[in-house]
Amino acid sequence: MNGPTVVVVGVTGAVGRVFLQVLAERRFPVGELRLCASSRSAGKELSVNGERLRVQETTPDSFRGADLVFISVSSGISRKLAPIAVEAGAVVIDDSSAFRMEPTVPLVVPEINADDVEWHQGILSIPNCSTTQMVMALYPLHRANPIKRVIVDSYQSVSGTGAAAMEELRVQSRQVLEGEPTKAEKYPHQIAFSVLPHIEPFLENGYTREEWKMLEETRKIMHAPEIAVSATCVRVPVLVGHSEAVHVEFTHPMTPAEARELLAAFPGVRVVDDPANNTYPMPIDCVGSDDVLVGRIRQDASHPNGLAMWVVSDNLRKGAATNALQIAEEVVKRGLLTRQRAQKLAARMRAR
């Protein structure tokens, strides 16, 4: 096999476009590459490694002979497409929330729980972008000193909502600056020059679905069902890059110096923490990088076993595209792609 046949669904979206860049940067071995989106994008051309490829409408035929299918569409559409791709013999890496909490679906951040890819049954999920960067900062500390409780407030960029929300922020910003009336479509209120304490629908318990994902997904990825998490997720008028103020309560005290050392030694985390020189992570510094940046590490004045920190990451890269490709790399490295295809072929032979 020269390389797997790879299908990218949602290739015209905010994540899909970055995914193509990451695919080229990481030199992921690809035999055939198929670019798919909705019928609206059929016929558009995108450049991959200097080659122009045409986008196709996603149909069941898109998955014929595919080995790996990356899906970056809404969860409702993922729910329909992923089982068709698995049935066609592919391994699916899904970016949506559709399957994340299903017990048969590994939810993976490879630096933390790469071994979970071993028990996949065709679909693997990436976490929500706000969860990924938080667990990247929590896990190295948790291994040394188990975490009991996390309070997190997020400052999430509009690209977390997708390409159309990025355009809405651009248009609204211009409208506000030119004194024109604004129109809110992707959010319930104007996002330009404002902040919205509202990401995804409200649940009966008063949290939003985004906030609840940060609790449930953290527990699943870190294999730590006892960790308490309370999140407030806020949308801010930033194009790319999510920020989080994270307050952690450990089992025992941990000094900021110890935390810095543990974080600096963890792959994919970069400590940016020199407040005396106004040096701390900011979204403008994380764009285009796969690192999760951590700074403002300090003792939490409200608890003897507490630390506070500020965590920033490119939500389209480590929060989505890069993490998805890292999962695929694990699947390929461990020979799980061929096993998936072999099992499917065997099942079909038996059914004949």
Q: Which positions are catalytic?
A: 129, 242
Residue 120 Cβ vs ligand NAP, minimum distance, rounded to whole Å:
18
Looking at residues 248 to 307 of the shown chain, list those that interact with ligand NAP (rule: CB under 6 A). Answer: none
Q: Give the C-alpha separation, 158 to 71, whole Å.
A: 20
Options 4, 82, 93, 96; binder of ligand NAP; rule CB under 6 A: 96
Nearest 10 degrees: Cα torsion 74, 78, 79, 80: 110
Q: Which amino acid belongs to residue 330?
A: E
Distance (Å, whole) CA 336 – CA 91: 9
CB of 208: closest distance to ligand NAP in angstroms?
Answer: 14
Stretch that binds ligand NAP, among 5-13, 110-118, 137-145, 300-308 (CB under 6 A): 5-13
Q: Which of 44, 46, 40, 34 is nearest to 5 (CA)?
A: 34
The nearest distance, CB 60 to ligand NAP, in angstroms, is: 12
- Cα separation, 265 vs 273, in Å, equals 15
Binding of ligand NAP at residue 95 (CB under 6 A)? yes
Beta carbon of residue 349, minimum distance to ligand NAP (angstroms, whole number)? 31
**Nearer CB in complex with ligand NAP: 133/190:** 133
Q: How far is the CB of 43 from ligand NAP (least distance, A)?
A: 11
Q: Which residue is nearest to ligand NAP (CB)?
A: 13
The answer to whether 186 and 104 are in contact (CB under 8 A) is: no
Q: Which stretch binds ligand NAP (CB under 6 A): 36-44, 224-232, 246-254, 272-280?
A: 36-44
Contacts with ligand NAP: how many residues (CB under 6 A)? 30
- The mark string for 186-225 relative to ligand NAP (x by CB under 6 A, - otherwise) is ----------------------------------------
Which residues lie below 8 Å from residue 300, measured CB to CB, with a gap of 6+?
A: 247, 248, 249, 306, 307, 308
**Is residue 316 near ligand NAP by the rule CB under 6 A?**
yes
53 in contact with ligand NAP (CB under 6 A): no
Cβ-based nearer residue to ligand NAP, 88 or 297: 88
Instruction: By CB under 6 A, tell whether 67 contacts ligand NAP.
Output: no
Q: Other C-beta atoms within 10 Å of 281: how many?
A: 25
**Binding flag, residue 37, ligand NAP (CB under 6 A):** yes
269-271 vs 292-299, strand pairing mode: parallel
Degrees (nearest 5) of the Cα angle 129, 78, 319?
15
Instruction: Give helix 322-333 / helix 336-351 axis angle, nearest 10°.
Output: 70
What residues contact residue 34 under an 8 Å CB cut-off, 6+ apart? 5, 6, 7, 8, 56, 62, 66
Give the burial class of 198: count Cβ atoms within 10 A of its Cβ; 0-12 exposed, 13-18 middle, 19 or more buried: middle
Query: Contacting ligand NAP (CB under 6 A), which of 163, 224, 239, 272?
Result: 163
CB of 288 to ligand NAP, least distance (A): 14
Binding site for ligand NAP (CB under 6 A): 9-16, 37-38, 40-41, 58, 72-75, 77, 95-96, 129, 159-160, 162-164, 315-316, 319-320
